[in-house]
Amino acid sequence: MNLSPLQKARYEYSPKLPAMLRGGISEITVNVGAPTQSVADQDKIKALFPNTYGKNEITFVKGSNTSAAKKQVVGVILSGGQAPGGHNVICGLYDAIKATDKNNVLLGFKGGPSGLIDDDFIEFDDAYINAYRNTGGFDIIGSGRTKLETEEQFKIVTEVAKKHGLTAIVIIGGDDSNTNAAVLAEYMAAHNTGVLVIGCPKTIDGDLKNEDIEASFGFDTATKTYSELIGNIERDANSAKKYWHFIKVMGRSASHVALECALETQPNICLIGEEVAAKKMSLAAITNYIADSVEKRGNNGENFGVAIIPEGIVEFVPEFSKLIAEINELLAGSKTEEFNALPDWDAKYNYIKKGLSAESFAVFDILPQFVQQQLFLERDPHGNVQVSLIESEKLFSEMVKNELAKRKAAGTYKGKFGAQHHFFGYEGRCAFPSNFDSDYCYSLGYNAFMLISYGYNGYLSKVSNISKPAEEWVAGGMPITKMMNMERRNGEDKPVIRKALVELDGKPFKYFEEHRKQWAVETAFTYPGAIQYYGPAEVCDITTRTLALEKG
């Protein structure tokens, strides 16, 4: 394999563990905390998880290890979208397993949850693991989005576990995957399989966090990568002084990534989906908000700027969600064929006009034609509009352009407007993990094995106090059921981990809100530069602004 100098150097990096996990497995013992309750719907969650509900929070402390000695055969899967640091979770898990007993085994099931169903696995050894230390990506075993949720799947997993003598399964995933981990843990307990299930909090989106989990891994590196790129673009904009850059950043639903990038780079505009929903902002209101900044800056002779658009934005615009719901209805079942058979866009446009409510048609009608057509072309297998494919960065730049033309005609806007578009998503998901993510992920994996060796089931590996240096981090575990509530999913009430959206009264948003008026008019860009792996801690080990503000 050809190795880059950084890759070679990162193999040598020793991730920092919390103090209580340092010094050897024989010196780690458990401090059992208080019993837990789910965040809401306690009776319902308790009834659904009779074997795993209400367990105690635990932390690890220095002391004599009292876990029962037994051979451990652990299976691990990566689930969902890539997030920097996934490899290190597996490395930490492997090192803890082997440090406990060389005969313990770690099996990696390939391609995500389906690997467990298909019994497609590899057994890790030192050489294999060493080639992935402190590197980005999930290519060590691959990932996938199959959901492990049905009784039939659980039966197959139980058979696979029996065949390999698995004592535990570690699921590295986001809120949905960890919800499923909790259900699998309950199944394993109810059927006396003896197999433990432990989750690890992953997702660049940052929406798996709560009072126990301070951050999901990958958010740090992904946002630093996007912020580097946004900063570079800001500097280009400020040098050329001729373009407005509309930059969409990943984050399927919540706007944590956009907000963090805004805190890092101080762009002129950053939309926050949760605010758009709370204020019931219309597309026109959002357009005017951006156009006001372009106009003021243009009239000051600054015909350039940067606007960050979160990937999930349009679903937060109430009138847009209503439009999507009506379109899904309009083309339900055989009506799709009827629509597709229409000869041209004019005929389709008239069909749409007749089929939508006047209110929704008015929204549809102000969309640029390429978005109108996208709404009808890009459909998922159920025939629903794929909102995530809408090029919202182009949608807003086009709407702003049209609005500015009106303002120019009215004589209020005197500037020039030229737009460039970008989408930063995949660029950040497999970056070399920052020192923070390298350390955090290694600790999560190491800690996951501590939970297994002490026999905990249905727990999420928890490492907290992470805005402080790694030495002061606190390692332990939290029953996943504590993070659950009941939510309506596909017409059914389901127990799920509550997704964390941006809190409009939280400190990160408040800080942004206080400063954005100034940023919208002045050029207040900040340039974070590339992630630094070697050098002073104040440059290399800094956490996100979000975490610093939340915990500061």
Q: Catalytic site residues?
A: 205
- Whole-number minimum distance, CB 166 to ligand FBP, in Å? 24
Supply angle C-alpha 401, 407, 412, rounded to 5.
Answer: 135
Least Cβ distance, residue 408 to ligand FBP (angstroms) = 36
Q: Tell me, what DSSP letter sits at residue 28?
A: E
Q: Identify which of residues 98 and 429 has a Cβ nearer to ligand FBP in the complex.
A: 429
Query: Segment near ligand FBP (CB under 6 A), from 21-29, 199-207, 460-468, 492-500?
Result: 199-207
Q: Is 252 in the site for ligand FBP (CB under 6 A)?
A: yes
Query: Any contact of residue 85 with ligand FBP (CB under 6 A)?
Result: no
Residue 18 binding ligand FBP, by CB under 6 A = no
User: Of the ranges 38-46, 202-210, 299-307, 494-502, which one interacts with ligand FBP (CB under 6 A)?
Assistant: 202-210
Task: Give the integer Cα–Cα distance in Å for 294 and 230.
Answer: 18
Q: Does 433 bind ligand FBP (CB under 6 A)?
A: no
Which one among 18, 75, 81, 445 touches ligand FBP, defined by CB under 6 A?
Answer: 81
Our finding on whether 261 is near ligand FBP (CB under 6 A) is no
* CB nearer ligand FBP, residue 83 or residue 501: 83
Stretch that binds ligand FBP, among 79-87, 280-288, 444-452, 480-488 (CB under 6 A): 79-87
Which residue lies nearer to ligand FBP by CB, 388 or 532?
A: 388
User: Which pair of structure tokens corresponds to residue 542?
Assistant: 């800094």
From the DSSP assignment, how many helices (H) and strands (E) are in the chain?
Answer: 23, 15
Per CB under 6 A, the segment of 45-53, 156-164, 200-208, 440-448 that binds ligand FBP is 200-208
Residue with tokens 């009072």: 211
Among positions 384-413, residues that touch ligand FBP (CB under 6 A) are 388
Size, binding site for ligand FBP by CB under 6 A: 13
Interacting residues with ligand FBP between 151 and 190 (CB under 6 A): 174
Percentages helix, strand, coil for the chain, rounded to the nearest 5?
A: 45, 15, 35
Residue 201 within binding range of ligand FBP, rule CB under 6 A:
no
Asked if 206 interacts with ligand FBP (CB under 6 A), we say: no
DSSP letter, residue 385: B
Show the site string, 436-465: x = touches ligand FBP by CB under 6 A, - = not.
Answer: ------------------------------
Residue pair 311/251 in contact (Cβ under 8 Å)? The answer is yes
Show the 3-state SS of 465-494.
CCCCCHHHCEEEEEEHHHHEEEEEECCEEE
- Tokens 């975490």 correspond to 547
Question: What's the length of the chain?
Answer: 552
For 19, 255, 257, 340, 532, the CA distances from 535, given in Å and listed in that order, are: 22, 31, 26, 59, 7
Q: Which is nearer to ligand FBP, 203 or 223 (CB)?
A: 203
Interface residue with ligand FBP among 251, 298, 415, 477 (CB under 6 A) is 251
Instruction: State the number of CA atoms in the 13 A half-sphere of 384 facing the CB.
Output: 7
Task: Show the CA angle centred on residue 302, arms to residues 296 and 307, nearest 5°.
Answer: 75
Closest CA to 31 of 53, 54, 63, 55: 63
Q: Residue 532, class by beta-carbon neighbours within 10 Å (0-12 exposed, 13-18 middle, 19+ buried)?
A: middle
- 234 binding ligand FBP? (CB under 6 A): no
What residue spans of 131-194 are helical by DSSP H? Answer: 151-164, 175-190
Instruction: Check residue 311 for interaction with ligand FBP (CB under 6 A).
Output: yes
Nearest-approach distance from CB 205 to ligand FBP, in angstroms: 5
Instruction: Convert residues 351-380 into a mask of x (bound to ligand FBP by CB under 6 A) and - (unbound).
Output: ------------------------------
Q: Token digits for 464?
A: 């907290």
Residue 204 binds ligand FBP, judged by CB under 6 A: yes
Angle (CA) 155 160 166, round 5°: 115
Q: Which of 80, 136, 201, 206 binds ligand FBP (CB under 6 A)?
A: 80
Q: Which stretch binds ligand FBP (CB under 6 A): 46-54, 75-83, 146-154, 473-481?
A: 75-83
The residues that touch ligand FBP, with contacts defined as CB under 6 A, are 80-81, 83, 174, 203-205, 250-252, 311, 388, 429
